[in-house]
Structure 1
Amino acid sequence: MPTATSPSGLLPTVASLADQTPVERNRVVDLLRATAILVVVLGHWLMAAVYVDRDGGLHRGDLLDLAGWTHPLTWVLQVMPVFFLVGGYSNALSWRSARRRDEGYGAWLRSRLRRLVLPVLPLMLFWAVVAPSAHAAGVDADVLRIASRASLVPTWFMAAYVVVVAVAPLTLLAWERLGWWSIGGGLALGGLVDLVSVSQDLVAVGFLNYVVVWSTVHMLGYAWLDGQLALPARRIALVALGFGVLYVLTVQGPYAVSMVGLSTGEIDNAYPTRVTQGFLGLLQAGVVLTLEPLLRRLVARRRVWVLTVLVNARIMSIYLWHLTMLGVLVGGSMLLDGFGLHRLPDTAGWWATRPLYFATLAVLTAGAVALVGRFETPAPDPRPAPPALRPVLAVVGTCAGLGALASMGIARDGEILWYLPLVPIAACLLGGVVRLPSQAGGRR
Structure 2
Amino acid sequence: MSLLTHARELARTPAERNRYADLLRAAAILVVVFGHWLSAAPYVVGGRLEIASMLGIASWSHLLTWALQVMPVFFIVGGFSNGVSWESARRRGETYADWLHGRLRRLVSPLVPLVALWAALVLVARYLGVDPALVSNASRLALIPTWFLAVYICVILLVPVAAAAWQRFGLASFWLPVSAAVMVDALAFGHGLTALRWANYVFVWLAVHQLGWLWRSGRASAGTVALAWLMGGLACLVFLVELSGYPVAMLTVPGADFSNTRPPTVALVALAAMQFGALMLLERPLRRWLDAEGPWTATVLVNGMIMTVFLWHSTVQTLVIGTAAWLGGIGLALQPGSAVWWLWRPAWLFVMLLALLPVVLVMMRFERGGRRGSRAAWPAGVLVAGSLLLCLGIGLLAGRGMGVPDFPWLRLVPLLLVVAGAVTVLRSRPERGVRPGA
TM bucket, shorter chain: over 0.9
Query: Matched residues in 2 for 1:313 and 1:145: separation?
Result: 31
Displacement of 1:46 in angstroms is: 1.4
Displacement of 1:131 in angstroms is: 1.1
Could you tell me which residue of structure 2 aligns to residue 434 of structure 1?
427
Could you tell me which residue of structure 2 aligns to residue 15 of structure 1?
8
Displacement of 1:434 in angstroms is: 3.1
Query: Matched residues in 2 for 1:117 and 1:200: separation?
Result: 39
Query: 2:416 matched to 1:425?
Result: no
Q: Write the mapping of 1:5-404 to structure 2, written as runs, cut at 5 A.
A: 9-18=2-11, 20-53=12-45, 55-263=46-254, 267-378=258-369, 379-383=371-375, 386-404=378-396
Aligned residues of 1:255 and 1:266 also touching (Cα < 8 A): no
Q: Deviations 1:58-90 (Å, cap 9, x if unpaired)?
A: 111210010000000000000000000111100
Shift of the 358–422 alpha-carbon distance from structure 1 to 2, 3 Å rule, reads: farther
Displacement of 1:412 in angstroms is: 2.3
Q: Deviations 1:13-45 (Å, cap 9, x if unpaired)?
A: 112211x12111111101111000000001111
Displacement of 1:436 in angstroms is: 8.4
Aligned residues of 1:125 and 1:421 also touching (Cα < 8 A): no
Shift of the 326–290 alpha-carbon distance from structure 1 to 2, 3 Å rule, reads: same
Aligned residues of 2:377 and 2:429 also touching (Cα < 8 A): no
Could you tell me which residue of structure 2 aligns to residue 3 of structure 1?
none
Query: Matched residues in 1 for 2:155 and 2:239: separation?
Result: 28
Displacement of 1:48 in angstroms is: 1.6
Aligned residues of 2:234 and 2:270 also touching (Cα < 8 A): yes
Q: Deviations 1:179-222 (Å, cap 9, x if unpaired)?
A: 11111122111111112223343443211111111111111111
Displacement of 1:136 in angstroms is: 1.6
Aligned residues of 1:42 and 1:358 also touching (Cα < 8 A): yes
* Overall identity of the aligned pairs, in %: 39
Aligned residues of 2:66 and 2:250 also touching (Cα < 8 A): yes
Displacement of 1:372 in angstroms is: 1.2
CA RMSD of aligned residues (A): 2.0
Query: Matched residues in 1 for 2:97 and 2:379: separation?
Result: 6
Displacement of 1:228 in angstroms is: 1.3
SS at match of 2:56: helix
Query: Matched residues in 1 for 2:234 and 2:205: separation?
Result: 18
Give the TM-score, by structure 1 length. 0.93
Aligned residues of 2:389 and 2:417 also touching (Cα < 8 A): yes
Between stretches 369-378 and 88-97, larger displacement belongs to 369-378
Give the TM-score, by structure 2 length. 0.94
Displacement of 1:360 in angstroms is: 1.1
Query: Matched residues in 1 for 2:186 and 2:286: separation?
Result: 38
Displacement of 1:423 in angstroms is: 2.2
Aligned residues of 2:101 and 2:375 also touching (Cα < 8 A): no
